Each structure stands twice: as structure tokens, then as C-alpha cells.
A and B are shown apart, each in its own frame.
Chain A
Amino acid sequence: MTRARKVIGAGLAIAVVMTAGSSLALAQAKKKKSKCKDGETTEIASYDLSKGENLDFQIAKPLNGKPGDAKTGLKWMVHRRLGNCIACHEVSKILAKAKPSDLNSLKKYGFHGKIAPTLDGVASRYTEGELRLIVVNPKKAFPDVNTIMPSFHSASDFHAVIGDCKDHAILSADRVEDVVAYLKTLKE
């Protein structure tokens, strides 16, 4: 296994460059970003479940008592740390906003994952209250599929949550409403 590769003396030089590069990365990583608290409350609002049309349950009323804003909702949907819905769902309307240079990158509207159903036409499949429940707690909305979709406004029974995320929801009540407002625009 002692190989002729030693002819390539560049090997070590490459290693030195790489070490320098990674210590830089390390210094940057030390400026620790909080994954969860970003200046807004992420407390969990209480809400009532009622009977749904297409699902067993729904949350009929806005979590914060007022309707959200669809344009702001789009912002949370593509945000990598907050909604990041497009990590799993394709949405034609969002993809259409991507510049050609976005399409192979994580930039804003680019690159959608495909493990989940497309959200195109989702407002024709579910009522507003059902969409709200799906975002708040998809485990309650789809109880039979052991869903991978995160509960964006719930933290009950969670296991081993990292320090600053503990007891916090991913999306605040306001943000949930913004997302729901955007989902309502996805009609077939």
C-alpha cells in the first residue's frame, strides 16, 4: 500500500493550505449564531382545535387574532432557518421567481427539495384552518404517516432540544399567520 503517489509532492502543500483555511472557518464558527432566538418571541400561542372538512381537525381562528401578510409569508417560507418549506416542498410560484443564477443554489428562491408533495394548489385541497393546523402541528394533521414535517408552532414532547431552542417554536404566531396567508394564494 505504500504508493507511488509520493511523486506528487504537492500533497503536503495542499494540506497546509487546507489547514489554514479550516482554522479561518473555525474562528468564524466561534461567533456562535443563535439558531432560535432572533429578537422575536417564539412563545407558543394556545389555540382551539375544531373538526375539519378534509382532515380530522383544524384551527379555525388565527393564532394571534388577526390575518397575516402573504408577501411576508413568502419570506419565511424560503428562509433557511425559519420556514425553509422549500427544503422539502416544490412550489412553482416560488420557483418562477428564481433568477437563472439561483437555480442551482440556496439563494432565496432557488433549489427546492422534493421529498414532500408540491404545495401547488394546496389551498384548493385544504381549508384555511386546516392549513394552519398543518403548519402548527403536522403530526396532528397527518397522524398516520410518522411525518418528517417539523411542527412549526409546537414544542410539546420534544426530545433533546439544543439549549437555546428549548421550549421555543420555530415560527412565532405572527409568522405562522403570514405563511398561512401565502398558502391561501396557492389555488388551482
Chain B
Amino acid sequence: MNGLKITGLAATIASIVFAGYALAADGKKEPIKPAAKDHPLDEIWSGYHFTTKETKAMQDDDFANPGMTWFDIGETNWSKKDGEAGKSCASCHKPSDMKGVAARYPIYDDKLKKLVNIEERINNCRKVNMKAKPWKYDSNDMLGMAIFVNAQSRGMTRNVKVDGPAAEHFKKGKEFYYQRRGQLDMSCAHCHEKYYGQKIRMNVLTQGQSNGFPVYRLKWQKPGSLHRRFKGCNKQVRAKPFKTGSPEYLALELYLAWRGNGLTIETPAVRN
């Protein structure tokens, strides 16, 4: 009897606590139909779909999601002044201004005359507005801020624009995606379009979607940027990797985001 009461109480506490904040990095449980007519996939699936039950449970519960430790780093840095201008992100924005950013990035920036993703935007704000040093893509500070910013768009539908000045980058990204490369002579499409859902030795291949980045990877024991993932996928076929933030990877990021238009943002997703 006693035990029962305690369980009941715990459940009540849990429901109060959990009702207090917005949805977790909830993975999409259904596939979606691509909106674009010329889309190469019949169904679009988040990487979430292909992970194990345990990994899904980890992602669905912010208390269990190890990536949320970096969310906290980002939240702390958000209002920490840095650089010669003596400013923080909070000097110019509210966190709620970040809602929707992850869903529409990367974008073509007319002033900078280049594609800009979250990391480039953060570094540009640091450089121009804060007069602070740029962060490396996979530093804890950058991962933290990118997770904090992207997580404000959780549950929102990705919808990147690929027309106008973005079009030529989209085309380059697409070429990159279908180019065989490396000593193993494979393209992204071989693994993530032709054989997704199937096993290549220990790994179940996913569609290689980017809607959960930066993702917490159990293998890395850390979150990683999308560009780190690109390097890894290039290197595993023994191809030359590009630099994080390179025009090649930015174009690839745009093209990949388009392949996932319609997916919801899950940052920080958890992957094996």
C-alpha cells in the first residue's frame, strides 16, 4: 500500500515537472511525402526512425538526453559578455527570436555574399557585433550555442529555400552528393539513398538527414556538427575531407536540408 502511494506521488511530480516546458527533441515517428516533384525519395525519414529503442527513449526525454548538457552550455553563454564590444547574444536577441531559424537555415546572405549556416551566423555575430574570436565548429562553446539556438525550433518543419541566389549552391551541393569519391569510390547516394534501412556490417544506414544536428553521438560521447559528420563519411570511403565551414560543405548542407524539407527539427538528436 505504502509503495503504491509513493509511486503515485512520483508520477504526479513527474507530470508537473514535464508539463512545465516545451516538447523534447521528439523524433518523427512517421515518414513524410516529399513536397518537391523532382525529389529522389518516395518517403522521407528522420534518422530517429532507424535507431534502437533505447536511443529513441534517450532522445525523447530531456532528462536522459546527454546532448542537453551542451544546451546548458549554450544557455549560459547566451548572456555571457565576450569580446571587445562588451556584448553577449542577449544584448541583441531574446532566445525566442531564434524560433524558426534552424528550420530555414542555411540561407544565402546578400551582404556576406555566401551561404550561411548556424555556425557561420554565430561566428559572424561574434566577429561583427561582439568583436570576439570565432569558435571552432566542434568546440564545446560552438556545439553548445548551435544546440541552444537550433533547439528553439524543435518540432518546427524544415523548409529551406533553394531558389534565387541559393540555386547555384544547391546545384553544387547536389553534384557533391552524387559524386563517387575516395578509394572505395562511393557517393553519398549509394549509402543514404540506395540502401537506407539496410545493414552495412554493424550499422543500419539511414537517409543521412540533418534535422537533428548537432547530434549527440554515443560513439563520440559528445555532440558533433554536421560538417564533422561529412568529414567522417568522406574519410570512411577514403576520400579527402573538406574543412568545416568550407563552401563545399555549406553547399552540401543546403542540398541535404532540402532533401529533408518537411522533417521536424529534433536538435539535439541522439544517434548511435
Contact = CB atoms under 8 A, between A and B. Distances in A.
Contacts of A22: 220-222
B5 interface: no
Interface string B224-242: 0000000000110011110
Contacts of B6: none
B183 A165 contact: yes
What band does the interface of chain A fall in when counting residues whose beta carbon is under 8 Å from B?
Answer: 35 or more
Nearest to A13: B69
A158 B183 contact: yes
Contact of B199 (A2, A35, A113): A113
A118 interface: no
Interface in B43-74: 62-63, 66, 68-69, 72
Given A14-B66, A106-B201, A148 B194 contact: yes
B198 A11 contact: no
Contacts of A14: 66, 69
A115 B95 contact: no
Interface string B145-164: 00000011000000000000
A35 B238 CA distance: 8
A39 to B, nearest CB: 17
Nearest to B201: A87
B200 A87 contact: yes
A36 B183 contact: yes
A27 interface: no
B128 interface: no
A11 B72 contact: yes
A114 B198 contact: yes
B190 A3 contact: no
A15 to B, nearest CB: 5
Contact of A148 (B66, B183, B191, B199): B191
Contacts of A150: 183-186
A148 B237 CA distance: 11
A160 B182 contact: yes
Nearest to A154: B185
Contacts of A105: 202
A88 interface: yes
Interface in A3-19: 3-6, 8, 11-12, 14-15, 18-19
Interface in A95-119: 105-106, 111-115
Contact of A115 (B180, B199, B239): B199
B68 A5 contact: yes
Nearest to B242: A160
A168 B20 contact: no
A77 to B, nearest CB: 13
Contacts of A18: 66, 221-222
Contacts of A139: 185
Contacts of A36: 183, 238
Interface in B191-210: 191, 194-195, 198-202, 205
A4 B221 contact: no
Nearest to B16: A4
A36 B69 CA distance: 38
25 contacts: A1-B21, A3-B20, A5-B62, A5-B63, A6-B72, A8-B63, A15-B69, A21-B221, A22-B220, A25-B221, A88-B200, A88-B201, A105-B202, A148-B186, A150-B186, A158-B182, A159-B180, A160-B240, A161-B181, A161-B182, A161-B183, A162-B239, A165-B182, A165-B183, A170-B184
Interface of A: 1-6, 8, 11-12, 14-15, 18-19, 21-22, 25, 35-36, 84, 86-88, 105-106, 111-115, 139, 146, 148, 150-151, 155, 158-163, 165, 168, 170
Given A1-B21, A18-B66, 9 more contacts: A2-B21, A2-B75, A4-B21, A5-B68, A18-B222, A87-B201, A88-B201, A115-B195, A151-B185
